Amino acid sequence: MTGAIGKPTPYIDAVQKVTGQAMYADDYKFPNMVYVSCLRSTESHAKIKSLELKKAEASPGVIAIVTGKDIPVPFGVLSISRDETAMAIEKVRYQGEIVAAVAAETIEAAEAGVKLINVEYEPLTEFFTPQDSLKTCTPDEQIHAHTKDHKNIHKTAELRFNEPEKELETAKHKQTGEFKFAGVTHGFTEPHSAVAMWNGDETLTIISATQVPHYLQKNLSKVLGLPLHKIQVKKPVLGGGFGGKSDPFPHEMIVSFLSKKIKRPVKCTFSREEVFITHHGRHPTEINMSLSCDAGGKITALDADIIIDGGAYGSFGVVTSYYNGVLLQGPYEINKFGFRTRRTYTNKHQCGAMRGHGAVNPRYAVETLLDMMAHNMKMDPCDLREKNFLSEHSSTVGEFRITSNGIRDCIAAVRKKSDWDSRYGKLPYGHGLGVACGFFISGSALPILWNRYPQTVVHAKLDFDGRIVMFSGASEIGQGSDTLLVQIAAEELGIPMDFVQVEVADTKTTPVDLGSYSSRVTFMVGNAAKTAASNIRNEMVKAISKEKDTTAESLIFRNGRIFTKDKSLDITWEEGVEMAMAGRGAFVESGFYISPKLGGNFKGAGAGLSPSYSFGAFISEVEVNPKTGETNVIKVWGAHDCGKALNPLAVEGQIEGSIHMGLGQTMSEEMRYKNGQQLNANFFDYRIPSSLDTPDMDVTIIESNDPEGPYGAKEAGEGPIHPVLPSIGNAVFDAVGVRMMELPITPDKVLKKIKENV
Amino acid sequence: MEKVTLTVNGFTQSVLVESHETILDTLRNRLNLTGTKKCCDEGTCGSCTILMDGKPVLGCLTPTLRCVGKEILTIEGISSGESLHLVQKHLVKSLGLQCGFCTPGVVMTAIPFLEENPHASRNEIKESLSGNLCRCTGYKKIIDAVENAAEEMRS
Amino acid sequence: MEYYHSPDSIKDALSMAREFDGNFIYFAGGTDVQIYRKQKLEKNEHIIDLKSIQDLNSISMKDEVLSLGAMTPLDDIIKSKEIQNYFPLLMEAAKSVATPVIRKTATIGGNLLVRNRCTFYNQSQEWRNGVGSCLRDVGDICQVTGGNNDCYSRNVSDTAAALIALNAEITLINSNEMTQKPLKDIYLPCGIKFHDLDNKNILTQIHVPFRPKKWWYKKLRVRKTLDFTSLTIAATVDNDDMARICLNGVSMAPILIEESLDTLTIESLIKQARKNCKTVDNDLMPLKYRREMINVFLEEWWEYEHHK
């Protein structure tokens, strides 16, 4: 590689961001714009007996008020669980659900209007724990009418291969654990915000802080009854997502509906508390898991029974249910394998996808059981893991195709850098090291909504000015996808990056990309962009070789010049552009990506399929104060196999960010509820680690060069979070000899365990 | 509403504000200076940090009327028309930002800190940013950037 | 309606206070009170911002007595060489409050009078509407205890713990007179009316009369920044071996235990502390743990005092 790929590359939008010029959704203001404030339910589960709007309608500045009945079409990111409407109709299912929305000349007038709406509720039986939801109830008590057997179970996902339960029954070396994980939320810094405009040509434009413009377009079309071609979704600069902006949301439906109704631009921006209420974060999870090994430490079977607490609506929950199980098939070879996940509806904020989707909590369980196993069998936990790694170019029991796999290099790197072999198990009481591994999909091989199209298309446009514009639906959310598009074009065409610009995430002007979720962008958009740019090059080669009478193969594109090896031809990029455009003008070339056909032929075989998987191994070092139970994570060594680091700065940034987020879930973050009401819907009490709470980090990038990834690349945005949590938990064991089976690892829990242990 | 005279980024102008309004809302909604971000609106995240007479304050907790007669400097006033401030330059260079939403606050915290503490250690830099919540970077590259900026400022 | 006033003398501030007749609040730094206003927990119409009163912002040492203007920012206290050298306990306590940027606005006077907190009270109006009742807000049932008499909101001032352990006094000015009294005497064991200063008075000065022989400080919190305390203990021992141990964050008011080291035992210390602290489940850190930590912290201080 000669150009931009593989070099640490600052983001192309970084200058805009450090100068305050970057426009996020709430920064957009349009003439005649109105503001929306939402009335939210004070009940967790109740019938709406009456809704009195008269006073609010008469309030100064109020222009329109809408309620659930005005926008009754259900939506949801998955077509199999479209169970939500823009606002509650007839009944509310969680505290904070939107009941009405007021549009007014100013936000103050809208808020004043909201206060004048009177709602009368008739309480229904509330379900706050999954245990309650698993029980039979009366039809009237059901949170959703569509659930089976009068239980509030949303989804049961189950797969079994080769009877793991039989093996576990008789296994000599077996570890079982009951694990419990609190719900956590994304904590992105930019609150949700959307502004919709009904245009004079009867089309809708919505600028929204979304990770999934395409799915928003589709859902808006359904909900508004508007043809797809009349909807333009634009994603502005986005202030973080982590999965929390990867669903279509009620407020997006509300502003769109209102702008169509009142023919004015309509904006809605959430308060931080509303962001917490909207949630869609990681499910509270209970896992009962068993793992067995043979005498040599080879894993023989794994079985897990998992309950995830979905909250009031479906979101990505069906996928989450599967991911909790299927993503345990790696990085270890496990041939007898099974799981059952039940996702319950409860009367709380809904859960959905969050960084590391579905696999973070069960990963903690597996890695903890492995650590227990190693301890029990008097084996080094790294050695035990090394005995079990899947090989490159292999297959898992559930028929995941494994291509490149750098897990052995990962564990070797952190083992060496942390001085594991001379320090593990030998540190003084209160001080410990722990290891864990992980793996993750590099893009879901299947689209969320079945179709015959590619998962992404990228157009590259060349014009007389010599500029390449990359048109892509990919959603930059801070992970660096815009910069990636530029790097790839620069690499393919041998031009400086400043010749390349992007036009992105606009459903009117850019070809479809499914969105920034499931760690798919680098792999899929990267491949498509590479093809698009290299097709531009092919066109240029054709024209130049014809005009200059050289062979196509002899042309080299490098450093902004196009030349032959012997320099008999040596022209500037601009000269080459002119030759290519002669007689035809500006042109566009495309590239696309479709995942190969993968997987088995059983029900559920599609879950977790990916064209490639990332791998990683992390070691954490902790200090535990045995008197207070306070745990301090001192340092984390992380090695992640991303195939090939197209932008090493961005890859490091993803790994470091994963360490931070993993640390938060392990140590201090927790969605706390009492009677369905969140106790800590603010950044005071929902405790995201600060700079002082985040440990030293040592990041190693492992490059296994994936055969199908662009330049060998795989994902790096989500995989690195999985090993973080269990590596800390296992380090606590090394430090003070107690097993933390519940997250977060708060001091009170550690202290209780230490006391029980004495 | 009250008519007040504010000096923001060196420019003095009159503006109508509510008497309870915070300078964050005035900047964003009335002066169209949207570089200062509203993230938590309750003093916990540092995203709305601005300078008042050279001192960092949180925009969401500062009454606009308290800013009358003071020099307000926002992110827009840091490098307008000039080259980037060294803190900005190094945040770009070291990737001390991802989504960028906390970045204006980080810049407005780090600049006065380095002016006051040109020889700050890495730990002191880390401490100085402990009121700036970042969800993307894990802080490492932000601290790297501020450290590098300090070094270049000293040389 | 809301009105903002910025008097530049104490006299003007007091005359405004008389004029608005209770329908006002004072702003010191305002970093805490602003949030109460946003959450509609503070509904008085007038703000009297004391920020412009210059002579309330000062740090001075005279005859070994440290005097602090009530409007001195916490950051100035942390950076004062005199305080670093002679009153490191106060510096530690100030440094444990909020975040570096907030400490540039937040003042020592404001922190001493920081409002008591409770998980079920310090919430948005919409949130509180969902609960429906709070003795300190609307309704007659406490969400924490289920009772209908006493509010147990916690005093969370870290600097109060330090300054009480340092035997500090405060100066109050009202239109007629200047009074001086021990800081510890202003706090009341009530979550709602947590101090006895009526708003016709302005807290102007804090005086720290003595430099302890030894001091100790510890704050229990989840993160190393920002968090309000779940338990703060500040302790001093003077030249006569008199120990002053002040606990805060675990009761409606700071709890001071004063006893000579000659007679004090760790058992009696813990017993007194546990008896005097009306600790209830109004913080996100579990109640049992916070109570347990009272013992652990006191034992740690005891060990420090006797083995170092």
Mean pLDDT of A116-125: 98
Inter-chain touch C130–A692, beta carbons under 8 Å: no
Superfamily for domain range C214-307: CO dehydrogenase flavoprotein, C-terminal domain (3.30.390.50)
Mean pLDDT of A371-377: 98
Count of structural domains, chain A: 3
Pairing of strands C3-5, B11-17: unpaired
Q: Residue A281 region, left (φ>0) first, then alpha (ψ -120 to 50), else beta?
A: beta
**Is 80 exceeded by the pLDDT of residue C308?**
no
Mean pLDDT of A344-365: 98
- Say which CATH number the domain at B101 has: 1.10.150.120
Number of H helices, E strands in chain A: 19, 31
Domain extent at residue B64: 2-77
3-state secondary structure A6-29: CCCCCCCCHHHHHCCCCCEHHHCC
Residues A269 and A289 in one domain: no
What is the tens place of the pLDDT at every residue in A425-477? 999 999 999 999 999 999 999 988 888 999 999 999 999 999 999 999 999 99
CATH architecture of C55-208: 2-Layer Sandwich (3.30)
The domain boundary residue, chosen from B77, B110, B133: B77
Residues B55 and B120 in one domain: no
pLDDT for res B81: 60
Chain B residues in contact with C228 by the CB 8 A cut-off are none
Residue B82 pLDDT grade (very low, low, confident, very high; cuts 50, 70, 90):
low
What percent of chain A shows pLDDT beyond 90? Answer: 99
Nearest to A473 by CA among A513, A529, A532, A531: A513
Quick one: angle between helices C287-307 and C266-276, nearest 10? 150
| Four-CA torsion B122, B128, B133, B136, nearest 10 degrees | -20
Chains that touch A (3 or more CB pairs under 8 A): B, C
- Name the 3-class secondary structure at C183: helix
Residues A485 and A528 in one domain: yes
Residue A514 pLDDT grade (very low, low, confident, very high; cuts 50, 70, 90):
very high
Residues A452 and A354 in one domain: no
pLDDT for res C2: 82
Pairing of strands A173-181, A285-293: antiparallel
Quick one: angle between helices B86-93 and B103-116, nearest 10? 130
Does C49 reach chain B within 8 Å, measured CB to CB? yes
Chain A residues in contact with C288 by the CB 8 A cut-off are 748
Does A683 reach chain B within 8 Å, measured CB to CB? yes
Q: What are phi and psi of A224, to 5 degrees?
A: -90, -10
Residues A198 and A256 in one domain: yes
Residues B68 and B98 in one domain: no
Mean pLDDT of C282-307: 96
Instruction: Please identify among residues 8-37 of chain B the ones whose CB lies closer than 8 Å to any CB of chain C.
Output: 18-20, 22
Residues A316 and A434 in one domain: yes
Mean pLDDT of A206-231: 98
Chains that touch B (3 or more CB pairs under 8 A): A, C
Mean pLDDT of A368-393: 98
Chains that touch C (3 or more CB pairs under 8 A): A, B
What are the structure tokens assigned to C249, written together?
A: 């964050």
Residues B30 and B91 in one domain: no
pLDDT for res C4: 95
pLDDT for res C239: 94
Closest chain C C-alpha to A684 CA, distance in angstroms: 7
- Say which CATH number the domain at A98 has: 3.90.1170.50
Inter-chain touch A668–C124, beta carbons under 8 Å: no
Residue type, B138: G
Query: Which residue in B32, B126, B138 is closest to A660 by CB distance?
Result: B138
pLDDT for res A3: 83
Mean pLDDT of A145-161: 97
Mean pLDDT of A563-581: 97
Which of A268, A691, A699 should be substituted to probe chain B, the one whose Cβ sees the most B Cβ atoms within 10 Å?
A691
Does A687 reach chain C within 8 Å, measured CB to CB? yes
Distance separating alpha carbons of residues A104 and A749, to the nearest angstrom = 49
- Say which CATH number the domain at B36 has: 3.10.20.30
Residues A487 and A411 in one domain: no
Give the distance from CA A714 to its chain's centroid.
15
Residues B91 and B67 in one domain: no
Inter-chain touch A692–C300, beta carbons under 8 Å: no
* Beta partners for residue A122, in sequence order: A47
Distance separating alpha carbons of residues A37 and A15, to the nearest angstrom = 33
| Identical topology for domains C55-208 and C214-307 | no
Count of structural domains, chain B: 2
Residues A482 and A389 in one domain: no
- Across chain A, mean pLDDT equals 97
Among chain B residues, the shortest Cα distance to A25 is held by B34
pLDDT for res C272: 98
What is the tens place of the pLDDT at every residue in C266-277? 999 999 999 999
- Name the 3-class secondary structure at A336: strand
pLDDT for res B80: 62
User: Which whole-number Å values give the CA distances from A709 to A389, A610, A718, in the listed order?
Assistant: 21, 11, 17
Residues B9 and B73 in one domain: yes
Chain B residues in contact with C27 by the CB 8 A cut-off are 63
Q: Could you tell me the pTM of the whole model?
A: 0.98
What percent of chain C shows pLDDT beyond 90? Answer: 94
**Is 90 exceeded by the pLDDT of residue C210?**
no
The domain boundary residue, chosen from B21, B54, B77: B77
Complex ipTM: 0.98
pLDDT for res C262: 96
Q: Are A319 and A353 in contact (CB under 8 A)?
A: yes
pLDDT for res B53: 98
Residues B57 and B7 in one domain: yes
Residues A274 and A292 in one domain: no
User: CA torsion sign, A687 to A692 to A698 to A701?
Assistant: positive
Mean pLDDT of C193-220: 94
Residues A421 and A484 in one domain: no
- Say which CATH number the domain at A303 has: 3.30.365.10
Query: Which residue in B92, B136, B142 is closest to A15 by CB distance?
Result: B92
Which of A128, A667, A751 should be substituted to probe chain C, the one whose Cβ sees the most C Cβ atoms within 10 Å?
A751
Residues B55 and B119 in one domain: no
Distance separating alpha carbons of residues B36 and B49, to the nearest angstrom = 7
pLDDT for res C175: 83
Does C138 reach chain A within 8 Å, measured CB to CB? no
What is the tens place of the pLDDT at every residue in A517-526? 999 999 999 9
pLDDT for res A1: 63
- Across chain B, mean pLDDT equals 97
Domain extent at residue A78: 25-124+190-239+245-278
Instruction: Please identify among residues 21-40 of chain C the ones whose CB lies closer than 8 Å to any CB of chain B.
Output: 27, 30-31, 34-35, 37-38
Which of A17, A484, A667 should be substituted to probe chain B, the one whose Cβ sees the most B Cβ atoms within 10 Å?
A17
Residues A333 and A251 in one domain: no
Residues A87 and A227 in one domain: yes
Residues B73 and B115 in one domain: no
Residues A394 and A534 in one domain: no
